[in-house]
Amino acid sequence: MPEGIFARLSGRKYNGNDKNLSEDMIEYNATKVWRFGLGKSEPGVRGGNVAENKKEYGKTVEEQLSILKTGAAEIIPEAELAAKLERSLSEGKPLVVKLGLDPTAPDVHLGHTVPLQKLRQFQDLGHQAVIVIGDFTGRIGDPTGKSETRKPMTPEELLRNAKTYQEQVFKILDPAKTRMTFNSSWLGKLTFAEVIKLAAATTVARMLERDDFAKRYAAGMPIGVHEFFYPLMQGYDSVALRADVELGGTDQTFNLLMGRTLQKEAGQEPQVALTLPLLEGLDGVQKMSKSLGNYIGVYESGREMFGKTMSLPDELMIRYFERVTKVPVAEIRRLEAGLREGTVHPRDLKMRLAREIVGIYHGEEEAERAQAEFIRMFQQKEAPDEMPVIEVGALKGPDGRLELVTLLVGSGLAPSRGEARRLIEQGGVRLREERVTDPQAIVSVNSGDVLQVGKRKFVRLTL
């Protein structure tokens, strides 16, 4: 394959059709990876000095490997990672460690943070973290795990979502050691002839080895030709950045290995693929997903995060400690042994887990407040100190009567009248601490009354 396809890393500016972008996002050059919202980085993606960092962290290759292997599902191949770490240390050059994020939704949940935590480990060992914002790949959408073709997103939607990622990922990553870039800055410059040559690096037969494509093909379900290009584009990102390591979930293995293939075609040393287990959601069965409602969002309040964590099945506690907290491995093993031997109570361990998670995203003080409020609400059966206040006057009917269903929808405790009726019938609604089960109920309220749905949703009513 001609080297020219891979060598073309020329910059661009967004044109007038790219709207609603802050000035610090508008201009960037592919040969200068931008620190998202922080100004320009130095040319290229390498920076720092591992030899100097070793003085601070004191980690040998073997010690680095031990840290990086912890919690990883697979390292392909592990021997190459060891060799890269050895060379990095001897030459004083950090490894370029890549993680791609497609901004197809504005919010990050804990499932997304598993590779971010591993990327932070690489940073702490002196290596260079590069976040690739997939503003180009996101227009197709990753077909991984999808049973049907995804609806394309517009560049405006993707960039609007991308703007929210900075604050969220920097709750985990060190901003001073992180560089962010947009893959449209190289993918958007490829000509059609170059795209055809890029596609020649693989075959349809290999694409159909992907589990999701294979299932759809066997079931006679459509597969868009453009979907075949997603792994090629993700792989080409690795060529553009000369990545040494790429991180991803176990469902990303095919895409990560495509990066190795394209780097070999470009005459580069292939990256190491480090995959991480997918995080089960709060149901303990399916992977964490916003669409399934089994998620803990990074942007959620400390109280909400704490309460959701406490609803986690006991058998997932240790896995969450390993994958989404900063608790040292030795400490996790001690807690695990205590749980097994009965010297650590599951409730106490889950509270520790909830504090750790809330502390990462909201600070230790908020974690303590969230725990105190949880104890007050669920162990002492008291309402929280702070809750939204709802004026009920506008919710009354022309006859002055107040339907409970209308009150639930109007106060934001139910998204629809149908859902409100379901909550009432299932016994999930309390007014003044009394359960109400009649979906046709007409209620009278006084200022200061508390309306509750489930275990965590409260509003205070006022006339």
Query: What is the per-residue DSSP string for 254-289?
Result: HHHHHHHHHHHHTTPPPPEEEEEPPPB-TTSSSBP-
DSSP, collapsed to helix, strand or coil, labels residue 337 as helix
Burial 53-92 (b: 16+ CB within 10 A, else e): bbeeeebebeebbebbeebbeebbeeebbbebbeebbeee
Name the nearest CA neighbour of 117 among 79, 171, 166, 159. 171
Q: Is the pLDDT of residue 391 over 80?
A: yes
Residue 289, domain member (yes or no): no
What burial class does residue 5 get, using C-beta atoms within 10 Å of its C-beta: 0-12 exposed, 13-18 middle, 19+ buried? Answer: buried
Instruction: Tell which of 346, 379, 412 closes a domain.
Output: 379
- What torsion, rounded to 10 degrees, do the Cα atoms 313, 319, 324, 328 define? 130
* Joined tokens for residue 113: 């943070």
**Known binding site for ATP: residues?**
290
Q: For residue 398, how far is the Cα from the chain centroid?
A: 47
End-to-end CA distance of the chain: 74
Number of Cβ within a 10 Å radius of residue 435: 11
Q: Which amino acid is at 273?
A: A
Average pLDDT, the chain: 81
Task: Using the predicted structure, report yes or no on whether residue 321 has a pLDDT greater than 70.
Answer: yes
Extract the annotated binding site. Answer: 290
Q: Is the pLDDT of residue 161 over 80?
A: no
d(CA 114, CA 353): 15
Question: In the chain, pLDDT over 90 holds for what percent of residues?
Answer: 40
Residue 394 maps to which CATH number?
3.10.290.10
Last residue of a domain, one of 260, 276, 292: 276
pLDDT digits (tens, 9 = 90+) for 336-367: 999 999 899 999 999 999 999 999 999 999 99
Residues 40 and 9 in one domain: yes
Q: Do 444 and 344 share a structural domain?
A: no
CA distance linking residue 60 with residue 265, whole number of Å = 32
Which of the four pLDDT bands, split at 50, 70 and 90, describes residue 432?
confident
- Domain co-membership, 88 together with 130: yes
Query: If residue 133 lies in a helix (H) or strand (E), which one and from where to where?
Result: strand 128-133
The CATH number linked to 103 is 3.40.50.620
Count of other CB atoms within 10 angstroms of residue 313: 12
Residue span of the structural domain in which 342 resides:
302-379
Condensed to tens digits (0 to 9), the pLDDT of residues 368-388 reads 999 998 888 776 556 666 778
Long-range own/partner contacts, residues 3-8 (CB < 8 A, 24 or more apart)? 3/266, 3/267, 4/194, 5/190, 5/194, 5/197, 5/198, 5/266, 6/236, 6/239, 6/240, 6/262, 6/265, 6/266, 6/268, 8/186, 8/189, 8/190, 8/194
Q: Whole-structure pTM over 0.75, yes or no?
A: no
| pLDDT tens digits, one per residue of 183-238 | 889 999 999 998 898 888 888 888 888 877 888 888 888 888 888 888 999 999 99
**For 238-289, what is each residue's pLDDT tens digit?**
999 999 999 999 989 999 999 999 999 999 999 999 999 999 999 888 889 8
In this structure, the answer to whether residues 336 and 407 fall within a common structural domain is no
d(Cα 93, Cα 48) in Å, to the nearest integer? 7
**How many separate domains does the chain show?**
3
Q: Are residues 12 and 141 in the same domain?
A: yes
153 and 224 inside one domain: yes
Nearest Cα to Cα of residue 40 among 58, 24, 17, 62: 24
Q: Which of 223, 186, 158 is nearest to 4 (CA)?
A: 186
Query: Where is pLDDT greater, at 130 or 12?
Result: 130
pLDDT tens digits for range 253-262: 999 999 999 9
Please check whether residues 372 and 404 belong to one and the same domain: no
Max CA distance (Å), the chain: 82
